[in-house]
Every structure is written in C-alpha cells, then in structure tokens.
Amino acid sequence: MKYYKKLVGSKVYLSPMCPEDAATYTKWLNDLSVTEKLGTSHNTVSVSGEQEWMRENAQGRLFAMVKTENDELIGNCGFNSINQVHQCGEIGIFIGDEENRNKGYGSEAMSLLVDFGFNYLNLNNIMLTVFDFNENAVSCYKKAGFKEIGRRRQAYYLKGKYYDQIFMDIIRSDGHGCH
C-alpha cells in the first residue's frame, strides 16, 4: 500500500508522505500556478532535492493529501512549525493540479489538521499565512474556522505588484476540534 489513512475525511485523507512521490511534488513545486501562491516561485526544485527534503522531514507532521475516492495524490499539508511549550503551531497546504482546486479538498484537509493539532498535538493556537490575492485560499481557511488576526502590508512582491500577507489563526476555544 502506497498511502496510509492517518487522518480521514469524506473527500480526502492525510497520509505520511511517500518517497516515490518526489517527482510529482517536484513537478508541482516548479509550477508557477502553485508557487506564486506559496511565495516560492524564486526557488527551483529538483527531484533529488525533493527526495532529500522528504527524507529529512519524514518524521515530521507533514502529510500527503489523497482523494478518498481513488487514492490519488492531490497535494501536501501539515505543520511547518510547532512550539510545544506555548502550545502553538503553524500550518500550510497546497493542492498541485488545477482540476483539484476549489472542490472542498483543502478546507476538509485543514479541518483534519486542526483536529489533529488540538486533539493529538495538544495545541491551543494554530496559525497560517496567505497572500491577499489568493481569495480562494482565504475562503477555504475561513470555512475551516480560521479568523484574520492581522496583515503585513505590501510584504510580497510578485510580477510588478505588492500584496499583503494575511495572518490567520484558530484557537481551541473557538470550538473546533474539541470532541
């Protein structure tokens, strides 16, 4: 079996990353339609570099995002950082191919991550950042229960324009993830 159902939703499940997927991730991480939204378009990713990154982060809190209906890899998500002392974490997500965006996969994956963070990692505050032009992502995060907590104005320069970086978070007492 290539994927393991660690966190399961109706549309997607989150699995430990599979090393054989390095070429797929490399394709996505060199696709400007993906990287412009992540703020990483200036990077060039090689398969060997992605394999090394995956090896180094295999025991982390990062997941392959897989469609429940057909076990198709559609993206990646997880905790970029965790501070256990302060019970805070920061999460990120991306969906690789355009045809899998705006179908509810992202908001369900975010909800699974939030539940995992509150119920298994004992976090109290989970934060993320997003650029203001990425309205679909902002909507996705709001659907998962995140609230805007601030902006870093004109913090991202892309193709001749400046964009704000939006900071969003969710806390345990917001009622999400407490079962």
Q: Is residue 57 part of a domain?
A: yes
Domain of residue 12 covers: 7-174
Q: Which tokens is 134 given? A: 């990425």
Q: Is residue 150 part of a domain?
A: yes
Give pLDDT tens digits for 16-72: 998 899 999 999 999 999 999 999 999 999 999 999 988 888 777 999 999 999 999
Give pLDDT tens digits for 49-58: 999 988 888 7
Q: Is residue 132 part of a domain?
A: yes
pTM of the model: 0.90
Helices (H), the chain: 22-29, 32-38, 47-56, 105-119, 135-143
- Which CATH number characterizes residue 51's domain? 3.40.630.30
Q: Is residue 47 part of a domain?
A: yes
**Number of domains, the chain:** 1
What mean pLDDT is reported for the chain? 93
Q: Is residue 134 part of a domain?
A: yes
Q: Is residue 1 part of a domain?
A: no
Residue 176's pLDDT is what?
60
Q: Is residue 179 part of a domain?
A: no
Q: Is residue 2 part of a domain?
A: no
Q: Which tokens is 56 given? A: 């180094």
